Every structure is written in C-alpha cells, then in structure tokens.
Chain A
C-alpha cells in the first residue's frame, strides 16, 4: 500500500487533480475554495495554475484549455459560480474536448459568505452533472471519476464540496499521476460556436447525453448501497453521509457520489427494500424533491432544516427522537470577527465616521466596517456592487443626495468586477466618490496575489496593474492617493472629492498589517497622563482595553504599532516605546 498522509479537503482536491492528469487550472480566491489553488503550486512544474481576476474569467480559461484538448479545472466558491454562470450555461451546450471540471464550494452555515445558495440547484438549471465527495480521501479519488465521465459523456462537470469538507483534514492514500494524452483539436463550429442554429441542435444533443448519463449513474462505482437493517433507509451524499454513519450506524444507506443526474433505478430499488426512507441533505431539498416526484414516499425537509450545517446530534434528535442530555451553552458575550489591530481599514472608517459619511460597501475584510463601533457601511451585496449601488442611488435621488456617501471597495474586488461599475459611472456622468482601500492583497481569503500585486500565484514576478492609471484611463479625472493612516490628509481629501460634481476616486494605499512580517513598533498608554476621554477607543482597536478606573491599557501581544490611537490622543498619554524594524 502506498503512503497515507493527512490532507485538508482542498489539498486532496489539488492532489486529485494532479493525479487525474490536469494541465490547466484557473481560479479566483473565495472561502472555502481558496486553498485548492494554493496547494496546486507544489505541482507547478507539472501543470499550469493561475489566479484569474474573477470566476467568469477562470471558467472561460478552463473551457479554452478543454477545447484545446487537455483536462482543465476552475475553482470557486458558490457565489463565484454566479459570476461564472454566463459561460456555465453555454459550455453546458458545447460539452468538452479534454475533461472539464468546475470545483464549486458551498458554505452551509455561512462561515464566510453573503448567502447560503445550493450549487446543486444552479447545476440542475444549467443541466450540469454534479459529483460530491464526503471526505478528503474521496475528494482526491472522485475528481478522477469527474474527469473520466466528463470525457466519456462530453459534459462539463461540477465538483461540489462544502466548507466542512474543504476545511477538514483526513487520511489520503497517494497515487501516481496519470499521464493523459492530449485530445486532438478538431475544428467543429456546430459544437463550439453557440449561435442559435448550432445551439438548438446542441440542446437536443445534451438532453440525450444527460439521459445516457442518468442511466449510467445506476451502475457507477461512486454511488454505493450499504444494506443493514431494512427498517430504516437513508439517501445521502457529501459530508452529511458522515453524520448518518455516526448517528444511524444500523441504517441502510444509499450514498450518492453523483448527485445530478440521480440514479433513478438504484433509488427505486433501494426504496423498495426499506420500511422508512429518509433523505439527509444539507441546504435545499434537491434529491428529496426529485425522489418524491417519482412517487416514492420519503421523509426530508418536513423534519430537517434548509439552513446551516447538519450534525449527528441533529439526526439523533430528528430521526431517533432521542432526548440528548446536553447542557445549554453558558451566557457568554458574542465574539464576532473584527478588523485586526493595525488594520488600515479601521483608520479610513474612523475618518468616514467622523465626517458622518455613509458607505456603499463591498465584499472583503472591510465589510466589517458595517458593525459597531465603526458603523459606516450601509450596504453589502456582492463582489463589485459598491460602486454601482452608489451610482443607482445618485440616479434615483440626484447628486446632492450622495454628498455624504462614498463607495468603498478593496483592490482585489475592484479588479474582480468593480472596474466595470466605475466605467458605468464615468460613462453616465456620475459624480460619486469611490474609495479603493488598497491593501496590496486579497485579504479576507488569506492573502492571495492579484493582477495589481506584481506576483503570480506561484509567487513569480509579473506586471502589476497600476490602479490609479487604470482609473484615469477609464476617464476619472480626479484620482488621489492617500496613506490610510494620514488622518488629516484623508479627511481633507474626502471632503474635497465628495463635494466635487464629477466622478472621483480616492485610493488609500496601505498594505494589510498581516503581510508585513517584520518586528512591529509598540505603543504604551501612560495611566497618569490619561484623561479617560475615550477618544483613542473610538475606532474599536482590539488591542486596547479600559482598566477598572477608566484609563487605557494597550495589550503588547496584540499591538502592531499602527499609531492610530496615538494620533487621536490629545494628552500625549500614548507613547511609542519601541520602534519597528
């Protein structure tokens, strides 16, 4: 037997793709899918992987590679698939040449997302087959099945995972890479040019292919039946399978590795063998509704939720009606995520708050500017939406109405989809102010490079898009760069730009504090000089606490020496005691 190693689900997917012989991968970071691409870098001498500016681009790059005849993959989170849905629906008609897999990570429980959508629903709408693994070992193995079936049935596949799989580790047995010969490229416009006449015929073709695939699903080795006690049968897939095994070890289980299309014959036969049948699936009743539509009696969302993650205890309560002797949690104040000590966003939001501004927000760490004590961000919807949301408000209520508004967006998000919205502002004579909080990285997902950082996914040097120049090229005449910690200049600039009757961009350029690994400066608070005014506490730095007497204490294990508190103290009670290196 070959070596067994412990791997994160995402690492296992990267390994599986390597073993499956892929040649190209493209992705945009998004929790919980990000690490797949990062783990691919170790194979950079064997196959090509990259960060794309967004998921639509990533998916199209993978489609191009597939057309050229190699196995290709794109990786994204569930909401990223929305961005990629334009190519998704059409490549469904085109099919593949080299095997094509989009790995899409759902986030039941919303650990790091703006919604809880179920990718299987999108896949059904786009008529894309879906394979779903249930642990790291399967994550590595099932992806090979996805590539093989993709080529055999001429279908692009979605490889669906959830946060719990992506970010759990389990043992994996390593195999060698399969060297797949490139498929010859044959020019075929009826297959690859989706104009109406061709697409009409392709639609007929893919309906046929999907039917064949649905038939084949009945005998696929990734769909398995474990017969035990026939009193209870469970149909499940993915991570919920593990909860079923914990809570219902006696039950008979039909475990689906392919969740779209469903193996109807297999399900009907299984249903006939058991007395009571349950479907255990997180999020939407995708399997359940189809099984019910075939006239099979099955219990599902009548007793299970469509929200959040499942657990073995949840199944024990809902199915076995067990009265679990579980203590209730203690009454503890919540600890929501916060901006890190020394985060440049805090400084920007402090100034915006002082000026009583509202912000149309976007997706990134800076979304946290919505919560107290900063409370500046009023809206957050999806990647790139801040700029267009502000524009819509202006067109609804006039330019005076948005004089106390700005759009805030990060550098990576701006390049993702924000740039289109800025074009729209300039094109349609908007007067709003866009603040690009440029921290030189994709921060929230854990520091990934992007087209303006000057580094590729592999860390190699490359051209860095000049964001100020890009804004000017689009037609923004007033582009100002400010240091995020220069409070005075920042305040003056914001006042000037929002007053201007023309679209403007303010770029606050200060790197993410976590990027800088050098020794940080340190500040201390002098209790004898502190007047307890509370000014320094206003931006809500987590390194600062109030002593019992109301004076301030700075936690030396957390302070990163940004100096924001010092610049807010009028009584010289906060002092730099150690310079940085």
Chain B
C-alpha cells in the first residue's frame, strides 16, 4: 500500500492535536507503520496550526508535503484555503464551514476572503459541514472536531468499530459518550 497522507489544519486551540492523536491510534490499530507531526509552543496560541498523519507499510518523513495529501481535514474556512494546495490530484478536502477572524482581519489590516468554499469547490473535491452548529445541537460546541472527523471517516478505510475503540482510548473518560455521539453525527451526514 502506498503511504496515506492526512493533514489536520485549524486554529490553535481548536483541538487539532486530539484529532491527530485519534487518527494515529486508529492507524496503529490497523497494523500500519505511522508517523505524526504536531505543533506545540508559541505557534499554538491562536495561530494557524497544521498536523500531519502518515501511515503505510514503512513511513520515513513525518510531514506531508505540497501536492501529497490524500485527505485534508480543515476546522476553519481560511485554514482550508491556506493549505488546499497540499492536496494531491484526487485528494479530498473536508471543511468545517466556520469562520474565525485572524488578527489582521480583526484590526482591519486585511480582509477575510469571500466565498472561500465556492472558490475551493472549483478546484478540489470538497465536503463541507457546519460542525460548530451541529455540535451546539448536541449541547457542547467543543466536540465539533469529532463531527468533522466523522465526515472524514466516510472517506477513509476504517470500520466504525475501529473508530469507536480509538475514540474511547483517546478522549477524556467523562467525554467518551458525547464524543462518540458527535462522531456519529458526522459519520451519517
């Protein structure tokens, strides 16, 4: 099997680390070699954050490079736009239809691009979900990332049971049920 390349992009604090760790756990359970790359420290403080997950028979570098991503999971529209060119030709982009203004936009030094999803749709295969709204319906807006992950799971080769198992192992014990529920919402959308 050729190495699969997945990216999770978002804004620092949105839970990209948790999501990449769930993916990492999943690929190990699948018996693959796996490497993950994360961002810690200053860059995490509300900045643009990207994490990489690579799995296959034998993985060398821990990063995904431009033109190589099979799947990009974007937790925010502008971040989807920023990293979309990392997708390979038939790659899939899953976007949380949500906007968080970066500081240059907040202070009026830059404008938040209009019609990001429409622009991206012309070039890439994209699946959008308003996971932040959906998670509100579940009563916990913090679990939106599991909804996005549920959508992504539809485009990956793991069973629902495998996903459940790794979610149970990775998220804090008190939040297992709500996270599984959130995953289901995305998985059935």
A residues with CB within 8 A of B:
4, 6, 8, 31-32, 34-35, 111-112, 135, 164, 167-171, 239, 242-243, 245-246, 311-313, 324-340, 365, 367-368, 371-373, 444-446, 537, 540, 542, 544-545, 555-558
Contacts and interface: CB of A to CB of B under 8 A. Distances in A.
B106 interface: yes
Given A169-B24, A169-B36, A327-B66, A545 B101 contact: yes
B61 A242 contact: yes
Nearest to A325: B67
Contacts of A111: 39, 41-43
B36 A171 contact: no
Contact of A372 (B45, B48, B109): B109
Interface string B30-59: 000111111111111111100000000001
B60 interface: yes
Contact of A542 (B28, B34, B35, B103): B103
A332 B113 CA distance: 7
Interface string B97-116: 00011111111011111000
A242 B62 contact: yes
B34 A242 contact: no
A556 B45 CA distance: 18
Nearest to B99: A545
Contact of B28 (A171, A330, A337): A171
Give the one of B61, B101, B107 with max A CB within 10 A: B61
B158 to A, nearest CB: 16
Given A444-B42, A542-B100, A246 B28 contact: no
Contacts of B125: none
Interface stretch (B80-88, B149-157, B181-189): B80-88
B61 A243 contact: yes
A46 B20 CA distance: 31
A71 to B, nearest CB: 27
A135 B35 contact: yes
Nearest to A328: B85
A329 B66 CA distance: 9
A246 B79 CA distance: 27
Contact of B62 (A164, A337, A367): A164
A97 to B, nearest CB: 35
5 contacts: A31-B42, A111-B42, A169-B62, A335-B11, A446-B40
Contacts of B12: 337
B63 A329 contact: no
A91 B25 CA distance: 42
Across the A-B interface, give the 7 residue pairs with the lowest CB-CB distance, nearest first: A31-B41, A112-B41, A337-B47, A335-B102, A168-B62, A333-B110, A112-B42
Contacts of B78: 332-333, 335
Nearest to A168: B62
A34 to B, nearest CB: 8
A340 B119 CA distance: 30
Contact of A167 (B40, B66, B67, B107): B40
Nearest to B79: A335
B35 A32 contact: no
B115 to A, nearest CB: 12
A373 B119 CA distance: 30
B60 A333 contact: no
A36 to B, nearest CB: 12
Nearest to A330: B81
Interface string B161-184: 000000000000000000000000
Given A135-B35, A164-B62, A164-B63, 10 more contacts: A31-B41, A34-B41, A112-B42, A169-B34, A246-B61, A312-B65, A332-B78, A371-B103, A373-B106, A542-B103
Nearest to B44: A337
Interface string B118-139: 0100000000000010000000
A170 B34 contact: yes
Contacts of A239: 61-62
Contacts of A445: 41
B33 to A, nearest CB: 6
B82 A336 contact: no
Nearest to A538: B107
Contacts of A313: 65-66
